[in-house]
Every structure is written in C-alpha cells, then in structure tokens.
Chain A
C-alpha cells in the first residue's frame, strides 16, 4: 500500500482525462464513466467531485459546499479524505505544481 497523498487547501485538482463525470437522471446520482467501467457515486462523493474542475482550489470547494449545505456539520476532514481516496484511485489529478 502506498501512503495517502496529502491534500492541502491551496491545491487545485481536475478530473483525470480518462474519466467523464455525468449526472444520471435514471439513477438519480452522479456516475463516473471510464474505459470498461462505471462507478455510481453516493450523494456526497458526487457533490464533491462535480466541483473538481481544474480551476477551484480545495478551499474554494469547501466554501462552495458550505454555501450549498449550510445545515451540514463541519465537512472539511471528510472532503479532504474523499479527495485523497480519489487521488489513490486515479480519479483526480493535481493541477498546481
């Protein structure tokens, strides 16, 4: 096992070019599509990943999520853990440095 890749708030991530993220009405969720496969994302993973656009920093994404879900408890640790898992799986790539 490789150790988790640390994510900092200034980082900017984009989706891997091997992936397409799409809202799928029939399944009422976001799906990740890639050669020979697809993953149905749960609600929170979908909300996070569709904000990963190669422009917004992690900090921007956190603020945006707080605006969208004002009633949610502190999300920061969960969001960062989800991004780290997404790096491990090759779903997202760092765009800064």
Chain B
C-alpha cells in the first residue's frame, strides 16, 4: 500500500558513470557521457548521505558505473557507517585491491556485491567487451578472505541463460552467500540490444527449472534470487514499490531520481542536490510527486483492483514502449499495448536473418546516442532509452 508519509529507506548513490566495462545490458543512461563531467565531490556526497539518513534512509548502495574509479569511496563508506547505514558496494571488481578492501573493512562496509557474467571466459569477455574473467575470480577470493558476505549478481541473457546450473555451481564453489540471477530488464543499453539479449520462453523455463533443481540439492546454504524477466510475466513488476515511495537515487552529477532510468521521461525536470535539499526534493519537488499515488493513472489501471499491488508497473517502460508514461506498463496483459511486448517475444523466438550488431556501452556509442542516433534504437521503441 502507498504510505501517506513515504520515507526514502533505500538510497542508491550512483557515484560515477565512468566504467572500465562496456556491458551490452547496462541500464545506465545511453547518453551517460553528458553526466560524466561535474561529478559531485566528496563533501557534496557526505552532505547528501547525512541529509538522506536524517530522512530515514537505511540501505545504501554505492554503485555507478564503477564506483572504485573514485578514490574517495573509503571515506564515503566510513561516513555512511558512522551515520548508521547498511552499506553495499556494487562493483565489477575492477580496482578492488587488498589495500582498499582492508580499508573498507576498517570503515565498516557491510557487504560487497560483485558482478559475474558466465562460467566461460569467452562470454564474460564478450558481453563486457573487456578481458576481466580471471580478475573476477581473484576478487571473489579476496571478498571471501576478508569475511564479507558474498553477493554475486549475474545478469542473465541469451548468451548465458543455458549455463545457469554451472553458474550456480561456480557460485557455490567460491563460497557465495547470495546469488542474484537477474534476468536482463530492458532499459538503457539493454533496450538498444534487446533483440540480441532476450532469451526465448523455453530457455527461461529451463533456467528456472535448473535453479529449482539446484535449490533442492543445495538447500539453504546459498540464497538464490531468480529475478523473472517482466516481458514473460502477465502482470508488471511493482516498480520501485511505487514512484517516490521508498527509493531515491542520487546520481554522479547530483541529479536526484526516483528510479534508475527516470531521466528518459519527457517533461520532467529532475532536481539537483547541489541546488535543493533532499528533503525538498523528496517531499516537494514536482518530479517526485508526478507519479505518486494513483491520481495520474489512466484506464485500465485507474479502476484495476491490482493497482495497489503493482502501482501500474514501470513508468519508464510505459513511456519507452508506448510513448506515454501514464499508460499501463505494456507488460500487463490488460494493457491495450501488450502487443509490443509480444512482438519482442516473437522476435526472440524467430530472430530476423539480419541481426543488428551489439551496441556496447562505451563513450563513442554514448556520444552518438546523446546526439540522437535513432538508427541505433530498435524499431518499436518509442523513446530514446
């Protein structure tokens, strides 16, 4: 249920959009090059952390891009811990050294979430467009060595979905405590590359079966979250648990967002922590109030009994796939636009003979997309992701 007095319990600090990896499924904005200058400084981050904590924020994710490209993460972690946050460093592992991890431990970092991509070097290196396979294993051992809970995040797509059983075995072998098998959600770069990344329904069902077999065999030792890809669901996800309900993102240049990809939405001006207090941004700003509650809803959501469960799904997905953020998330089978999702599913089953090349997340491609290169965006996608 929507809370009459919502608190930003979850704060995500996307401290930089710079990243040594070039993953084809990245959800970061495709025009991220616009936001890599003017990154917030250490003092500005500390002020944001203090403000959000005073508003009730508890869970802190430090993410990016690759957060370890900044040299002040140790300082931010120590400050976050002293403020009482539960702090999670979300990293590719690139840039994590013995010295830095020891400093994080001293500062009170609670856990590290490491991205892994596959059991094979070939697919790891292909999908990230880097040579990082050996490094990831080394970093996993380092995390274990420092007695952190180990959370592995594996983004699932057509290139690794048939390896789910082996990925889980690898995770168990390196001592993971939690594994997120996060099926790709189609935002940002992932939407650009949807035709190449989306698995078929059959592949998905087999992956779920493999996960359940592993759970039955391994028991509770390792917790596994299988994040279902919403295109294959009948109802939308309760995106962010509702707009401006529990989640707030402060991004690299200080822009504050209610969800990862809100920047794509037209007609909204997102406030900046350099200009306004987080208190005003969360409570008063037009952007954070735009889709709060259900006053904005159109049919079929407005009179739907499930609107208190899924809040009409995702505004960004509605905009990207139907052209209007107020529409129902087209994943919902009650949406008059569901056909755009069915077409993408059909395309996954019968890929066109001429598959477009993957557009990797890198500065050159981002500059092209920032300049409005529509030819890189798949047909049927209404907004620029």
A: residues with CB less than 8 A from B are 17-18, 20, 22, 24, 26-27, 31, 33-38, 90
Contact = CB atoms under 8 A, between A and B. Distances in A.
Given A17-B147, A33-B86, 4 more contacts: A20-B86, A24-B58, A27-B56, A35-B149
Contacts of B84: 22, 24
Contacts of B151: 35-36
Nearest to B86: A33
30 contacts: A17-B147, A17-B149, A18-B111, A18-B149, A18-B177, A18-B178, A22-B86, A24-B58, A24-B84, A27-B56, A31-B58, A33-B58, A33-B86, A33-B110, A34-B86, A34-B149, A35-B88, A35-B110, A35-B111, A35-B113, A35-B149, A35-B178, A36-B151, A36-B178, A37-B59, A38-B9, A38-B59, A38-B86, A90-B220, A90-B223
A33 B56 CA distance: 14
Contacts of A26: 7, 56
A22 B108 CA distance: 14
A37 B149 CA distance: 14
Nearest to A88: B220
A22 to B, nearest CB: 7
By Cβ-Cβ distance, the 8 closest A-B pairs, closest first, are A33-B86, A26-B56, A18-B149, A35-B151, A35-B111, A35-B178, A18-B177, A20-B86
Interface residues on B, range: 20 to 34
A90 B178 CA distance: 12
A24 B7 CA distance: 13
Contacts of B223: 90
Give the interface centre of A26, A35, A90 by most chain B CB atoms within 10 Å: A35
B214 to A, nearest CB: 17
B104 to A, nearest CB: 15
Contacts of B111: 18, 35
Contacts of A34: 86, 149
Interface string B1-23: 00000010100000000000000
A20 B88 CA distance: 13
Contacts of A90: 220, 223
A38 B180 CA distance: 17
Contacts of B9: 38
Interface in B74-124: 84, 86, 88, 110-111, 113
